[in-house]
Amino acid sequence: MKLPSQIAHYLYLFRIWLGATMGLLLAAISHSYAMQIEGAEILSGQMIEGGLIIARTDPSNQVTLGDNQIRIAKNGVFVIGFHRDTVAPETLAITTPNGATTKTTLSPLKRTYQVQRIDGLKSAMVSPPAAVLARIKADREAVHAARNTDTALGDFWLGFDWPAHGRISGVYGSQRILNGQPRQPHYGIDIASPIGTPVYAPADGRITLVKDLYFSGWTIVMAHGLGVNSSFLHLNKTTVKLGAFVKRGTLIGTIGATGRATGPHLDWRIDWQGRRIDPGLLVGPMPPT
Ligand SMILES: [Zn+2]
């Protein structure tokens, strides 16, 4: 009579183990895949650090993220972006014109990032001399203002194209060690290709900055609408004018090695409301060159 009770006990333990395992598994699956926003339809994107969710709701609704109002385009499209290091979950609320509110808790998946060591940079590019600090500050303010320039919604919500083709030589989020000294993480994706390689608009957008900056050399910032913007760094030439609205696929410049660069490459960045988005999550695989 001992055996059946032991079997029952093992079955019981097995059930607890199975329950816990399945529970964790289901939590993981619902967290990463079955992501839903109450009151909206997700068109694309992932709830992950560096991710950009593109969703659509009734344009008469109001969308807030925490205390901040989120812009909605005339067609009901809105976006939510997640920074590299997201610390706390956020609440997304959608309110209809008659005052009914639905809420969704957003807690993006954590990522692990590479450590990238770059040596042989000119010391002035790692620890800039006092004489250029004012210029660096002015550069930062110019980029900030450019990124805050709004424009009508273009076509980015249908997906981005690669702005240039080449070898991926740097990825989003890497912890940078420059000449042995820890620096800001890398927020762009680096595409290495020879000087003069064409750079095209990855989606429609308005040109909000064309400037030679200390660290990033010749730089273009382009607003895509809804607060989403692209930056293109280290260009050799720029072929667009400030304020112009360019269509997807328009030539905007060529790859160079201006500013803090060890070789010719395009550093493509995407920003939403000061949050750095991983461009690599928004495009397909790099076509073979
Ligand atoms: Zn870069």
Tell me the CA–centroid distance for residue 278 and ligand 1, in Å: 12
CA distance 198 to 256: 10
Count: domains in the chain: 2
Domain shared by 204 and 246, yes or no = yes
The pLDDT, as a whole number, for residue 4 is 56
Residue 288: which pLDDT band, with cuts at 50, 70 and 90? confident
Tell me the CA–centroid distance for residue 280 and ligand 1, in Å: 13
- For residue 98, being part of any structural domain is answered with yes
Task: List pLDDT tens digits, range 22-59.
Answer: 544 544 444 444 478 989 999 999 899 999 999 999 99
Tell me the CA–centroid distance for residue 88 and ligand 1, in Å: 28
Task: List pLDDT tens digits, range 108-157.
Answer: 999 999 998 888 888 888 888 898 999 999 999 999 999 999 899 999 99
Task: List pLDDT tens digits, range 271-280.
Answer: 999 999 999 9
Domain shared by 92 and 122, yes or no = no
- For residue 21, being part of any structural domain is answered with no
Tell me the CA–centroid distance for residue 116 and ligand 1, in Å: 11
The pLDDT, as a whole number, for residue 6 is 58
Domain shared by 133 and 73, yes or no = no
- For residue 177, being part of any structural domain is answered with yes
- For residue 18, being part of any structural domain is answered with no
The pLDDT, as a whole number, for residue 34 is 47
Q: Are the beta carbons of 53 and 42 closer than 8 angstroms?
A: yes
Half-sphere exposure of 145 (CA within 13 A, CB side): 9
- CATH classification at residue 96: 2.60.40
CA distance 110 to 47: 10
Tell me the CA–centroid distance for residue 3 and ligand 1, in Å: 66
Domain shared by 72 and 167, yes or no = no
Tell me the CA–centroid distance for residue 256 and ligand 1, in Å: 12
Tell me the CA–centroid distance for residue 13 and ligand 1, in Å: 52
Tell me the CA–centroid distance for residue 226 and ligand 1, in Å: 25
Tell me the CA–centroid distance for residue 189 and ligand 1, in Å: 6
Tell me which residue range forms the domain holding 79. Answer: 41-106
Domain shared by 58 and 159, yes or no = no
- Does the pTM surpass 0.75? The reply is yes
Tell me the CA–centroid distance for residue 268 and ligand 1, in Å: 7
Closest by CA position to 116, among listed 219, 202, 187, 65: 187
* Average model confidence (pLDDT) across the chain: 89
